[in-house]
Amino acid sequence: MTNMLAETMPLVEALNVSRRFSRKLDYAEKIANLFGAGLEEKTVHAVDDVNLAVYPGEVVGLVGESGCGKSTLGRVMAGIMAASGGEVRWKGQPLTSLQGEDKRAMRLSAQMIFQDPMSTLNPRKRVIDLIGEAPKVHGIVSGGEMRDYVAALAERVGLDPSYLDRYPHQFSGGQRQRIGIARALAVKPKLLVCDESVAALDVSIQAQILNLFMDLRQEFGLTYLFISHDLGVVKHICDRVVVMYLGRVVESATPDELFDNPKHPYTQALIRELPSVADRRRVFTPIKGEIPSPLHPPPGCHFHPRCPKAFDRCRVERPVLKENAAGHVSACHLNDLAVHQTTNATAEPAI
Amino acid sequence: MTPVLEVKNLSTHFMTRRGALKAVDDVSFTVGQREIVGLVGESGSGKSITGFSILGLVDPPGRVVNGQILFNGDDLLKMSPAAMRTIRGKRIAMIFQDPMMTLNPVLSVGTQMIETVQAHDRVSRAEARQRSRDALGLVGIPSPEERLDSYPHQFSGGMRQRVAIAIALLHRPDLIIADEPTTALDVTIQSQILFEIKRLAGEFGMALIWISHDLGVVAALADRIMVMYAGRIVEAGRVDGVLTEPRHPYTSGLLSAVPAAVPRGEPLRPIPGFAPSPLSRPSGCAFRDRCARATDICATEPMLEIAAGREFRCFHPHLWSAA
């Protein structure tokens, strides 16, 4: 499966993509600088030199804690936010080179589903227009066919078509998320970027929506970039999991490999700290420290101030992604100490 | 040993134009000394309103319409507002999901903490400051002396929640009610907070009601668990028993809806349908519309059954061979 995928062209690919947000100095600060205040522009490296390819039909999970840049990367790859460095390619074509009809087609093919449907649904519009407006504008359906088209979609995502003339506030959270999904599907996308799409839902509703995502994948041949902080969800539905920390990818592998054999100390911590019903441990062994501010990320490996295994090299040199096993890469200097690590593994039982 | 808290037949209703909304409906439970009790349920199940009712924080149109809340033997519902104020924040403290709800953004953390100390104890400002500093240190905030002069926005989300916990701890309460305090936090930070809370509760002998929708968190933290559905406690018991051998179909439904309950990639098993609107709940067992085990008898009210330290309200409970 992996080999077959490797030969095909990625649907969307990020090549050394960076995204920086900076705040320019205002007049007062510029004047202060003339007097030698030495103020600098504040720049956040939300995404820092990331490579990520998503192949057709794949479900890629992007996990990490708040501020790690996973949402920003998702937006850049969906084409709704420009990269500040590097290149995003859609079916091999750089996004920046797409013009006219190609650009429009790409925009329609990559749709996003957000965490809070209420903030993405216009409260003054009826469901029929929320879902039907985009396909009508883009000529996918005519005005006369719109109602039937929307009703079919609504039925598919589990909404009662008799509710089409209602407003978003008349729906529950789970139903609103279904409206958001129907709206994304209405323009016949290839790629769905789901940004924390099930995070706000109760566990039972979350299961319903996740099942819907999986059914739609089969039915419409969709590709997903599934952004979540919830490792349990990601493990369940993804073909590949990418772990980010402070703007960088630290590890990427298949879920089974990642959960059974995590290489990066950060991934190991995330998996260990995940509270689960099955494993009712009474002891917590949290990793120390805060997630550093992306305004002033630590030098070297971003994780080193919190890492229990950090050594001198981690403080100065940025680790690069290296392949540990087929399809399993991680960015950690411990990889170069493989021999040392295996001896350690016997002394220290696996997590 | 007398329990810290004994709630008897508590009902909290919200009077709306469309009738009385029964947010909490005939809820009874006890919290023993030094006990950590998890209160779980989906949104709208009444778990937060239960917490608010105990502290007398339900605002109109909501009202506690029935029941007793015995705190160390005294009925909180019969207390005057003045007497209640000597308990709230002093003997019972609350921690909210969003610490920005607790913290005033325009006052430094130190000012707010000193105010909290002096609201209940006649001590000098210097002594109050000392106590505040110690509390910040206890919850693991580095350099507490300097941080006293910081404002809430200068803390990260996890640190803010630590400040809120420090404020709750200022008077060494007998009981802390924590309403989803780690829901908004990242996994590694949540783990740190759970670690601190567990340590502090043990150290000071506090009882804790931990309100959460996350069964995993409650499983790791609590001694006992209570499952709420549509305003009622449908099952309660030791964490180990309830989570491994649930009797109520709703509890088992919640447990099998999580991704970890099925092999990777297979369809999840959600509970069919969704929670009924609190204004139009079915008669009898409110869960019967979604329940695979329901029969005609479920249209009548299921009584609370108590067996081997387990309580549940169901006509057709799961049977476990060991039980």
Q: How confident is the model at residue B322 (pLDDT cuts 50, 70, 90)?
A: low
Mean pLDDT of B48-65: 91
Shortest alpha-carbon distance between residue B314 and chain A (Å): 20
Percentage of chain A modeled with pLDDT above 70:
92
Element (H, E) at B64: strand B62-71
A286 and B195 in contact by Cβ < 8 A?
Answer: yes
Fold of A2-245: Rossmann fold (3.40.50)
Q: Which of B170, B166, B89, A229 is nearest to B181 (CA)?
A: B166
The residue in chain A having the minimum alpha-carbon distance to the alpha carbon of residue B158 is: A290
- Peptide bond preceding B152: is omega within 30 degrees of 0, i.e. cis? no
Name the residue among B194, B195, B258 with its Cβ closest to that of A277. B258
pLDDT tens per residue, range A63-94? 988 878 899 999 999 998 999 999 999 998 99
From chain B, which residues contact A within 8 Å (Cβ)?
A: 42-43, 156-159, 186-192, 194-195, 198, 213-217, 219-220, 239-240, 243, 253-255, 257-260, 262, 264-265, 267-271, 274-275
Q: What's the rounded Cα separation, in Å, for the pair A157 and A178?
A: 6
Q: How does pLDDT run across A13-37, given as a tens digit for each residue?
A: 999 999 998 888 888 888 888 888 7
Joined together, the tokens standing for residue B168 give 């709750």
Q: Dihedral (C-alpha) B179, B214, A280, B142: value to the nearest 10 degrees?
A: -50
* Count of Cβ atoms closer than 10 Å to residue A162 Cβ: 9
Q: Rounded to a whole number, what is the distance in Å from the CA of B214 to chain A's nearest CA?
A: 8
Sign, CA dihedral B73-B79-B81-B83, equals negative
Flag if A280 and B43 touch (Cβ within 8 Å): no
Q: Cα–Cα distances in Å, from A121 out to A117, A164, A202, B53, B59?
A: 6, 14, 20, 34, 30
* Confidence at residue A347, expressed as pLDDT on a 0 to 100 scale: 37
pLDDT(A346) > 80: no
- DSSP for B65-87, please give it: EEEEEEETTEEGGGS-HHHHHHH
Q: Which residue of chain B has the CA closest to A230?
A: B187
Helix H segments across chain B?
A: 47-54, 81-87, 99-102, 109-120, 125-138, 144-147, 157-169, 187-204, 215-221, 239-244, 249-257
Q: Angle at the Cα of B231 (from B225 to B232), degrees rounded to 5?
A: 50
Contact between chains at A236 and B268 (C-beta distance less than 8 A): yes
The pLDDT mean for chain A works out to: 86
Decide if A284 and B158 are in contact by the 8 Å CB cutoff: no
Dihedral over Cα of A113, A115, A119, A124: its sign: positive
The pLDDT confidence band at residue B233, using thresholds 50, 70 and 90, is very high
* Residue A270 C-alpha, separation from nearest chain B C-alpha, in angstroms: 6
Across the interface, whether the CB atoms of B220 and A282 are under 8 A apart is answered yes
Residue in A183, A191, A182 with CA at minimum distance from that of residue A223: A191
Question: What is residue A348's predicted lDDT score, i.e. its pLDDT?
Answer: 40
Mean pLDDT over residues A313-340, rounded? 85
Strands B5-16 and B19-31, by their bridges, are antiparallel
Residues forming a β-bridge with A52 = A14
For B187, the closest of A204, A274, A282 (CB atoms) is A274
Closest CB from A269, A278, A280 relative to B188: A269
Residues whose CB falls within 8 Å of the CB of residue B203, separated by 6 or more in sequence, listed in order: none
- Say if residues A101 and A142 touch (Cβ distance below 8 Å): no
Nearest to A280 among B158, B220, B268 (CB): B220
**Where are the alpha helices (H) located in B170-230, listed in sequence order?**
187-204, 215-221
Q: What is the pLDDT of residues B259-298, one digit of tens each?
A: 888 888 888 998 988 788 778 888 889 998 889 998 899 9
In whole angstroms, give the CA distance from residue B36 to residue B22: 26
Helix pair angle (A173-185, A146-156), 10° resolution:
130
| A99-103, B8-12, B233-237: segment of lowest average pLDDT | A99-103
DSSP label of B281: P
Distance CA B323, CA B311 (A): 13
Name every chain A residue with its beta carbon within 8 A of the beta carbon of B264: 235-236, 255-256
User: Interface of chain A against chain B, CB under 8 Å?
Assistant: 65-66, 172-174, 202-208, 210-211, 214, 229, 231-233, 235-237, 255-256, 269-270, 273-278, 280-282, 284-288, 290-291
ipTM for the whole predicted complex goes beyond 0.95: no
Show the tokens assigned to A202: 């109760």
Q: To the nearest 10°, the Cα dihedral for A195, A196, A202, A203?
A: 110
Q: In order of start, what are the domains of chain B with their CATH numbers?
A: 5-32+45-86+218-313 (3.40.50.300)
Chain A's closest residue to B267, CA to CA, is: A211
Asked whether residue A3 carries a pLDDT value surpassing 80, the answer given is no
Please list every residue in chain A whose beta carbon sits closer than 8 Å to the beta carbon of residue B214: 275
B62-71 and B74-75 strand pairing: antiparallel
Nearest CA in chain B to A254: B264
**How confident is the model over B155-174, as a mean pLDDT?**
90
What CA–CA distances, in Å, run from B122 to B116, B127, B128, B134, B276?
11, 10, 9, 18, 49
Comparing alpha-carbon positions, the chain B residue that sits nearest to A280 is: B220
Nearest chain A residue to B44 by CA: give it: A202
Q: Provide CATH 3.40.50.300 ranges for chain A.
A: 2-245
User: Which residue shows structure tokens 């990490």?
Assistant: A64
What local confidence, expressed as pLDDT, does residue A279 receive? Answer: 65
Which residues in chain B have their CB less than 8 angstroms from residue A224's CB? none
Of the pLDDT bands very low, low, confident and very high (cuts 50, 70, 90), residue A190 is: very high
Please, which residues bridge with residue A322 across strands? A330
CA distance B32 to chain A (A): 19
Burial letters A215-226, b for 16+ CB under 10 A, else e: ebbeeeebbbbb
C-alpha to C-alpha distance for A75 and A316, rounded to whole angstroms: 31
Nearest-Cα residue of chain B relative to residue A266: B188
Question: From CA A159, how far away is CA A173, in angstroms rounded?
Answer: 12
Q: Output the pLDDT for position A124.
A: 93
Sign of the CA dihedral with A157 first, then A65, B178, and B115 last: negative
* CB pair distance less than 8 Å for B216 and A286: no
Question: What is the mean pLDDT of the segment spanning B145-166?
Answer: 90
* Residue-wise burial string across A1-18, b where 16 or more C-beta atoms lie within 10 A, e elsewhere: eeeebeeeebbbbbeebb
Separation of alpha carbons B170 and B132, rounded Å = 7
Q: List the single best residue of A230, A274, A290, A293 to mutate versus B (max B Cβ within 10 A).
A: A290
The pLDDT confidence band at residue A280, using thresholds 50, 70 and 90, is low
Listing from the earlier edge strand, what are the strands of the sheet with A59-63? A110-113, A191-195, A223-228, A59-63, A240-245, A248-253, A328-330, A322-325
pLDDT at B150 over 60: yes
Give the Cα separation of B239 and B225 in Å (integer): 5
State the angle between helix axes of B157-169 and B187-204 in degrees (0 to 180), rounded to the nearest 10. Answer: 10
- Residue B94 CA: distances (Å) to CA of A41, A169, A292, B88: 41, 31, 29, 9
Tell me the pLDDT band of A341, cut-offs 50, 70 and 90: very low
Residue B41 has pLDDT above 60, yes or no: yes
The sign of the CA dihedral A176, A177, A178, A183 is positive
